[in-house]
Amino acid sequence: MSQNASLPPHVALSRRTLLAGAALGLAAAPLRQAAAAPETEMTVTEALRQRRSTRRFSDQPVEPALVAELLWAAFGVNRPETGLHTAPSWHGAADSMIHVASADGVSVYEPERDTTRQRHPGDIRQSLSPQPFVATAPICLLHISDLRRLSAAEDESQRPLYAQIDAAIVAQNVYLFAASRGLGTCLVGGMDRPGITAALGLEAHEYVAFVQPVGWPAQG
C-alpha cells in the first residue's frame, strides 16, 4: 500500500490559518475542499451511533484543514477565558500532548495557539506498533502525556494511570469527530513504547499512553 503524504512539509496544522486561507482562496485545492464545512453538522447522538474502530484505511490523504479541526476537537481550548479544553483532565492537569505522525514527520499540537510545530522530520509510523495496520493510516496520533503536569499525584506510580485516563478521553473525542466526518480511527494500546521513545528521543517525563491511527476507511 502506498503511503501518500497527507501533510505538506512544514505546514502548521492551524484551523485559523488553514481555514481562513482556504476561505480567501489562498490555499491549495485540497485545503479548499476540506474547508467546505458539512452542510449539516452531525449530532452527537448520531456520531455515537456511527462510532466504531476502523483498521483498514484507504490511501487517500487526510486534508491538513481537516486534521486541524480534528486536533481542536481532540484537545483544543474551548473556553479561551480560562484556557480549558474540549476534554477533561485529572485535576485540570492538561497533560495531553498530541503528536501527529505522517509521511512528512512528526508535529506536536499546541492547544494554546491551536496550531502544530514540527518535532521530528522523519516518518516514524513503522516504529509505532507491532500491529501492521497502524502504519497503513496516513496519520497516526500519538497520545503522549507530560507526566510533570501530574506531579500532584500522591503516589508517583499512579501518574501513568492518570495519563492513560486523560488520553483515553481525548481519544474518544477523536472517535466522535472521526465518526461525524466519515473518518476511521482505532485506539491502540498495543504500541511499541520503547520504539516510539527512541524514534522521537522522548524525555523521561514524556509518557506514551496510546497510539491512534486516523484515515479514510477502505471501501469494501
Ligand X SMILES: Cc1cc2nc3c(=O)[nH]c(=O)nc-3n(C[C@H](O)[C@H](O)[C@H](O)COP(=O)(O)O)c2cc1C
Cβ proximity to ligand X, 78 vs 131, nearer residue: 131
Q: For residue 219, give the 3-state DSSP assignment.
A: coil
Rounded CA-CA distance 46/57 in Å is: 22
Interacting residue with ligand X among 186, 199, 200, 214 (CB under 6 A):
186
> Which part of the chain contacts ligand X (CB under 6 A), choosing from 63-71, 112-120, 148-156, 187-195?
187-195
Site for ligand X in 25-84 (CB under 6 A): 52-53, 55
Give the side-chain half-sphere CA count within 13 A for 16. 7
Site for ligand X in 123-152 (CB under 6 A): 131
What lies within 8 Å, CB to CB, of 220 at 6+ separation is none
**How does DSSP assign 41-79, residue by residue?**
PPPHHHHHHH------B-SPPPPHHHHHHHHHHHH-EEE
Residues forming a β-bridge with 120: 106
Cβ proximity to ligand X, 121 vs 189, nearer residue: 189
Cβ proximity to ligand X, 68 vs 196, nearer residue: 196
Cβ proximity to ligand X, 55 vs 56, nearer residue: 55
Interacting residue with ligand X among 97, 124, 140, 188 (CB under 6 A):
188
Count of residues in contact with ligand X, rule CB under 6 A: 9
Long-range contacts of 121-126 (CB under 8 A, 24+ apart): 122/199, 123/3, 124/196, 124/199, 124/200, 125/3, 125/101
Measured from the CB of residue 18, what is the shortest distance to ligand X in angstroms? 29
Identify which of 63, 62, 96, 90 has the alpha carbon closest to the alpha carbon of residue 77.
96
Rounded CA-CA distance 91/94 in Å is: 8
Measured from the CB of residue 119, what is the shortest distance to ligand X in angstroms? 24
Cβ proximity to ligand X, 107 vs 212, nearer residue: 212
Give the side-chain half-sphere CA count within 13 A for 170. 33
> Which part of the chain contacts ligand X (CB under 6 A), choosing from 10-18, 79-87, 146-154, 181-189?
181-189
Query: Per CB under 6 A, does 187 bind ligand X?
Result: yes
Measured from the CB of residue 50, what is the shortest distance to ligand X in angstroms? 11
Positions in the binding site for ligand X (CB under 6 A): 52-53, 55, 131, 186-190
